[in-house]
Amino acid sequence: MQTQSSDKAIDTGSFRDHIGIITDDGKRKDIYPKKPKGRFYNARTVFSLALLAFLFGMPLIKIDGHPFMMLNIIERKFIIFGQVFGTHDFFILALGFITFIVSIILFTAVFGRVFCGWACPQTVFLEMVFRKIEFFFEGDYISQKKMNSAPWTAGKIIKKVSKWSIFFALSVLIANTFLAWIIGTDELTHIISDPVSKHVWGFAAMLIFSGMFYFVFAYFREYACIYVCPYGRLQGVLLDKNTTVIAYDYVRGEPRGKIRKSEERTKGDCIDCNACVAVCPTGIDIRNGTQLECVNCTACIDACDNIMDKINKPRGLIRFASENNIRNKSKFKFTAREIAYTFVLLILLSVLTYLISTRKPIDVTILRAPGMIFQEQPDDKISNLYTMKLTNKTFDEVPVTLKLENLNGELKVIGNDIKVGSNDVSETKFLVLLNKNELKTMNIPLEIGLYKNGVKFETKKINFLGPAPQK
Ligand code: SF4
Ligand code: SF4
């Protein structure tokens, strides 16, 4: 089987018939990736630190006592950069979700799995937190392998127990942060400080998530990307020969072969040192071409660049490039499909920006009560009955008063004073009464002013229906 159509296409052998992390008899093959070293790894470390600061820091930020970010899917209440979004903002949230999906599709079609390698929480935690702790306690891949096959000694027990304890403590911290994003830090503090009997479900969720994170980062690891993640499975549909992925330049590298000092080199630039395979956290050989298991972590780029430096060859034998870039020795180019995706994404982003920027903190709808036209009232007056729906998208309860602004008449609210709770909806009925002799037409425009604590926040224009004026 061959993956590249070129004179120098490489024989991919049987790698597509089996997964690199499974032995021939179907058991899990332990992966011991070598500690990566290089410019991409350093850049990823810095980027991961920024992401971790965002993840752990955001739930702690409050403005006027309210969370700055909260994604409460249970109560369908979302606070994004201090703005409250609820069920009444369903269309904004739905459009935001669609935009997110399209941007992922676009981004993946153009840049492959960059998200997996740089921003996916699984990779960030595994490679930048848990794996670093493992390297600290157990050394690089060779000493890890040796330790795991060695008998249990006091030294091994201390190292393993220390590592597992830190792994579990970190899993508890991640689980708590995850919950803080959903229920907020106040509720989380209650779960932590109150007796367990008061928050049985909250406490259970904390334990389940802690156990789950521990299992994923201490044991399951690359299985999550290869077997569970649906995004990884989508790659076959989203990638094409113009997609930028982490790729081995087989045109330059093949035929591969070891360096022999005594011989003049007639082979390609790949010296078959396996450094790129040794660092791969999913246990693959990128020289076989793009594979489902590759999470674009860039470790193999760094490893190969280090080798190229040593043998005085240009860097980039493994690099970010598309199949067409490598085969045709060309540069990155936008395709018609990518231009179309970008266009759709820009439209969605524009609509979303418009909806968010014109979103009012209090939404008001006033409609004439259904089935009623006008009513005759004592003292030669005519009334219309209206129904007003108020949606409060702020953190505070809002008291509202109404005024008839453009005519002499009366406005009577039916029932109690109007108040609408935080992130809540209220419905109120009110009557507008006008003197019959002021009704010059059957359809009179009215302006209703809405006031919060004496300050007008909106004027609504509605119509008043009256009888036909007498001639
Ligand atoms: S092939 Fe390279 S980029 Fe892909 S997962 Fe392995 S080391 Fe990371
Ligand atoms: S690190 Fe580079 S030179 Fe070594 S085997 Fe991989 S591609 Fe070839």
Architecture of domain 362-465: Sandwich (2.60)
Among protein residues, the one with the nearest Cα to ligand 1's atom 4 is 294
Residue 7 confidence (pLDDT): 42
Does the beta carbon of 286 sit less than 6 angstroms from any atom of ligand 1? yes
Q: For 385-428, what is each residue's pLDDT tens digit? A: 999 999 998 888 999 999 999 888 999 999 888 999 888 889 99
Q: Give the pLDDT confidence score for residue 43 in this predicted structure.
A: 97
pLDDT in tens, 314-351: 999 999 999 999 999 888 777 787 788 888 889 999 99
Atom of ligand 1 nearest to the CA of 298: 3
Q: Which tens digit of pLDDT belongs to each residue from 235-267?
A: 878 888 888 899 999 999 999 999 887 778 888
| Mean pLDDT estimate for the chain | 89
Tell me what pLDDT residue 424 has: 86
Q: Is the pLDDT of residue 291 over 80?
A: yes
Rounded to the nearest whole angstrom, what is the distance from the C-alpha of residue 138 to the centroid of ligand 2? 26
What is the per-residue pLDDT across 147-190, written as a single tens digit (0 to 9) for each? 999 999 999 999 999 999 999 999 999 999 999 999 999 999 99
SS3 readout for the chain: CECCCCCCCCECCCHHHCCCCECCCCCECCCCCCCCCCHHHHHHHHHHHHHHHHHHHHHHCEECCEECCEEECCCCEEEECCEEECHHHHHHHHHHHHHHHHHHHHHHHHHCCHHHHHCCHHHHHHHHHHHHHHHHHHCCHHHHHHHHHCCCCHHHHHHHHHHHHHHHHHHHHHHHHHHHHHHCHHHHHHHHHCCHHHHHHHHHHHHHHHHHHHHHHHHHCHHHHHHHCHHHHHHHHHCCCCCCEEEECHHHHCCCCCCCCCCCCCCCCCCCCCHHHHCCCCCCCHHHCCCCCCCCCCHHHHHHHHHHHHCCCCCCCEEEECHHHHHHCCCCCCCHHHHHHHHHHHHHHHHHHHHHHCCCCEEEEEEECCCCCCEEECCCEEEEEEEEEEEECCCCCEEEEEEECCCCCEEEEECCCEEECCCCEEEEEEEEEEEHHHCCCCEEEEEEEEEECCEEEEEEEEEEECCCCCC
Q: Ligand 2 site: residues with CB under 6 angstroms?
A: 248, 253, 270-276, 287, 303-304, 307, 317-318
Instruction: For residue 293, give the ligand 1 atom closest to its CA.
Output: 5
pLDDT tier, 15 (very low <50, low <70, confident <90, very high otherwise): low
pLDDT reading at 445 higher than 70: yes
Q: Is a pLDDT exceeding 80 seen at residue 6?
A: no
Give domain limits for the chain.
1-359, 362-465
Q: How confident is the model at residue 5 (pLDDT cuts 50, 70, 90)?
A: very low
pTM value?
A: 0.81
